[in-house]
Amino acid sequence: MKSRRQGAQDWIWFHENPQFEFKHLQKQFSIDLSKPMIGMLTNVLWDAQLHYPDKAFPNMLTWIFETIKYFQKRKDLQLIIRIHPAEIRGTLPSRQLVLDEINKKFPELGSNIIVIPPNCNVSTYTIMEKCNTVIIYGTKTGVELTSVGIPVIVAGEAWVKNKGITLDPKTKDEYFNLLDKLPLKSCMATKNINRARKYAFHFFFRRMIPINSVVISKGWPPYKLAVKTLEELLPGKDDGLDIICDGILSNKDFIFPAEKLKL
């Protein structure tokens, strides 16, 4: 889980040298440590439309706008909006930027609402770990945050939703009722943190299936086959490939039994 902060073991990451010093960020954006901070993590707009069916809100922009309007009235709290770095650093940079949409809708945000732009090199984890609660739409970061005990509200759709570890409003009214309870008086219960870590293990080690027959390659495409004969593809030669083939041919679960391995 710690490696997720650097992206060292991931197939994709958005900062070459993420910064983990919060004091610089605090000074740059005039963050008031005397007020509870509520984090808000956006997705890339087109990505959110493709991957996450809308729930309490018709789309991600509506969620962002209505959440900002709410916090403009909650001067007792600070809303820290972290715009996803992939908007400008991803393989396919977005042509519709969340910051532009926010600026068009709100010429004046208010001093208690702080927007961290996508080009800011400070680690998202460093920012969110200072927050009382974090609100997400669909980002996988919810898996990591709950594993360290940070309460997460899921406003859209996400992998971590409906697992008994996040706050999952089904309607707009339920969402704002949850916001009315902020700041929360405590972090997640120990049993829920343990459950979150079990889910993180399931998500990152059992649902992510390693395939030895494919290796990373420089250039494009970024992967290449690592087999020289058909015999290397026979059952028993590549456990991950076997699971995928069995899932397709025999309708079995696509789950890699990582808990049986000596990690």
* 148-192: pLDDT as tens digits: 999 999 998 888 999 999 999 999 999 999 999 999 999 999 999
Quick one: 179 and 70 in the same domain?
Answer: yes
CATH of the domain at 18: 3.40.50.2000
Residue 3 has pLDDT above 70, yes or no: no
**Per-residue burial over 66-104, b = 16 or more CB atoms within 10 Å of its CB, e = otherwise:** bbbeebeebeebbbbbbbbbbbbeeeeebeebbbeebee
Residue 10 has pLDDT above 50, yes or no: no
Give the chain's domain count.
Answer: 2
The two most distant CA atoms of the chain are separated, in Å, by 66
Q: Which of 167, 191, 192 is nearest to 178 (CA)?
A: 167
Quick one: 110 and 232 in the same domain?
Answer: no
Question: How sure is the predictor about 93, in pLDDT bands with cuts at 50, 70 and 90?
Answer: low
Query: What local confidence, expressed as pLDDT, does residue 159 receive?
Result: 86
What token pair was written down for 259? 């808990």
Residue 91 has pLDDT above 90, yes or no: no
Residue 76 has pLDDT above 50, yes or no: yes
Question: Which structural domain, as residue segments, surrounds residue 32?
Answer: 2-205
Quick one: 176 and 255 in the same domain?
Answer: no
DSSP label of 6: T
Per the prediction, the chain carries an average pLDDT of 86
Quick one: 150 and 251 in the same domain?
Answer: no
Quick one: 121 and 228 in the same domain?
Answer: no
Quick one: 168 and 116 in the same domain?
Answer: yes
How many CA atoms within 13 Å lie on the side-chain side of 43? 27
Quick one: 188 and 242 in the same domain?
Answer: no
CB atoms within 10 A of CB 235: 10
Residue 47 has pLDDT above 70, yes or no: no
Quick one: 221 and 176 in the same domain?
Answer: no
